[in-house]
Amino acid sequence: MTICAIIVAAGRGTRAGGEIPKQWQRLGARSIAAHAMQPFVDHPEIHTIVLVLHPDDIDSDLWRDTPAALRVTGGDTRKASVMAGLTAVPDGTTQVLIHDAARPLVTAAIIDRVISALKTHQGAAPAVAVTDTLWHGAAGQVTGVQDRSGLYRAQTPQGFHLAPLLAAHHGQTDDATDDVGVARAAGLDVAIVQGDENNIKITTPGDFARATKLMRQDMDIRCGNGYDVHRFGPGDHVWLCGVKVPHGRALQGHSDADVGMHAVTDAIYGALGKGDIGQHFPPSDPQWKGAESHIFLRHAVGLARDQGYQISNVDCTLVCEYPKIGPHQPAMRAALAAIMGLDADRISVKATTSERLGFTGREEGIASIATVTLVKP
Ligand code: MG
């Protein structure tokens, strides 16, 4: 099986409240759509992710926090958007899982069950059996009871073999409410697999509160530290936290020797358990000679994002007698914020002297220590 996940994020729904479509509203540190994509990104049997965006959103920043994916423009209807996604899947794709970007709490177990059922069925989708008693009502009065046996609440991802689903979509003119409807209209068999009560679709403002509460139950929080030192040599400026600071000497190093940015970068690698700068960008490799350190930091931030982590905050301390850091702190925070895609109020740059003690006190070099917190909601 070569499976592609299509995340449909082209809806305009604002019933959930807010100024922007619900899939782009934030749940914790990430957009709902980013949460909805991550379990597919992390799933070993999913080869490709296609993210279907509304034409109005393509040039916006709304989707910038979503994991890497093939991004395509959808249409005005759900059917048009799904078709855009189906058309974009890479050659060789044999099965597709179509998921609603407004379901941020989908799990690997649900995806597993859908994939497993596709081995023996043309289609498969998760659902939860209705357990509440169902009433008919009118004018505020109970008027009857509906037999609930055989009733299910449908969820996504809905999985299909690609060729018959494409044929079903081509043959269908109505805008069915979901792909199971399209598939069944074309005579495909669709298995029901066990869904999850928590795999809710964000529709109303109350759903945000519920989803937030559910997410906190298994939030993954990580902390990392980084430490770096560079020695002084001849020169007329130093790079510190992305800012060029005039100084009577320069810091020496294979790269631009931005000791603060190196400490922050190593803290991120540390939190991820992914080594350090020297491992990812070996000093023995001439291509990194004189490299600007934002390359390293962007790499670490990208690794964190690819694993579903958001950087919650950064705290960096520079240890030196000179240059004086205070006047440059706002620019340093802004520079790190821009590189990391964070608000500057999540970044701290502090400085201290070492009371003239040790190598920093003797002005032989600058040291930096940094701490970061990563959160996977
Ligand atoms: Mg260094």
Q: Which of 158, 187, 217 is the last residue of a domain?
A: 217
- What pLDDT is stored for residue 194 in this prediction? 97
* CA–centroid distance, residue 286 to ligand 1 (Å): 16
pLDDT tens-digit series, residues 352-372: 999 999 999 999 999 999 999
* CA–centroid distance, residue 270 to ligand 1 (Å): 15
* CA–centroid distance, residue 71 to ligand 1 (Å): 36
Q: Assess whether 188 and 229 both reside in one domain.
A: no
Distance of CA 66 to the CA centre of its chain: 4
Q: Is the pLDDT of residue 268 over 70?
A: yes
Placement of tokens 């690819």 in the chain: 306
CA 225, CA 278: separation in Å to the nearest integer?
A: 15
* CA–centroid distance, residue 309 to ligand 1 (Å): 24
Amino acid at 167: A
pLDDT tens-digit series, residues 124-151: 999 999 999 999 999 999 999 999 999 9
* CA–centroid distance, residue 346 to ligand 1 (Å): 23
- What pLDDT is stored for residue 299 in this prediction? 97
Which residue range(s) make up the domain with 264? 220-376
Q: Is the pLDDT of residue 13 over 80?
A: no
Bond from prior residue into 323 cis (ω within 30 degrees of 0): yes
- Which CATH number covers residue 165? 3.90.550.10
pLDDT tens-digit series, residues 243-256: 999 999 999 998 99
Amino acid at 105: L
Q: Assess whether 185 and 266 both reside in one domain.
A: no
* CA–centroid distance, residue 327 to ligand 1 (Å): 23
* CA–centroid distance, residue 253 to ligand 1 (Å): 7
Q: Assess whether 150 and 82 both reside in one domain.
A: yes
Q: Assess whether 210 and 351 both reside in one domain.
A: no
- For residues 262 and 243, the answer to whether their CB atoms sit within 8 Å is no
Q: Assess whether 186 and 335 both reside in one domain.
A: no
* CA–centroid distance, residue 77 to ligand 1 (Å): 52
The rounded radius of gyration (Å) of the Cα atoms in the chain is: 26
* CA–centroid distance, residue 282 to ligand 1 (Å): 11
- What pLDDT is stored for residue 175 in this prediction? 63
Q: Assess whether 39 and 148 both reside in one domain.
A: yes
Q: Assess whether 200 and 316 both reside in one domain.
A: no
Burial class (CB within 10 angstroms; exposed 0-12, middle 13-18, buried 19+) of 85: buried
The structural domain count of the chain equals: 2
Using DSSP's 3-state secondary structure scheme, residue 317 falls into strand
Phi, psi angles (nearest 5°) of residue 22? -60, -35
For 290-328, give one letter per residue: b (16+ CB within 10 A) or e: ebebbbbbebbbeebbebbbbbbebbbbbbbeebebeeb
Q: Is the pLDDT of residue 177 over 70?
A: yes
CA 333, CA 376: separation in Å to the nearest integer?
A: 23
Mean pLDDT calculated for residue range 20-46: 91
pLDDT tens-digit series, residues 316-344: 999 999 999 999 999 999 999 999 999 99
Q: Assess whether 292 and 366 both reside in one domain.
A: yes
* CA–centroid distance, residue 265 to ligand 1 (Å): 10
* CA–centroid distance, residue 296 to ligand 1 (Å): 10
- Which CATH number covers residue 355? 3.30.1330.50
Q: Is the pLDDT of residue 75 over 90?
A: no
Q: Which of 164, 183, 217 is the last residue of a domain?
A: 217
Q: Assess whether 170 and 46 both reside in one domain.
A: yes
- For residues 293 and 356, the answer to whether their CB atoms sit within 8 Å is no
Q: Which of 200, 217, 234 is the last residue of a domain?
A: 217
* CA–centroid distance, residue 13 to ligand 1 (Å): 48
- For residues 14 and 105, the answer to whether their CB atoms sit within 8 Å is no
* CA–centroid distance, residue 228 to ligand 1 (Å): 5
**Structure tokens that stand for 360 in this block:** 């920093």
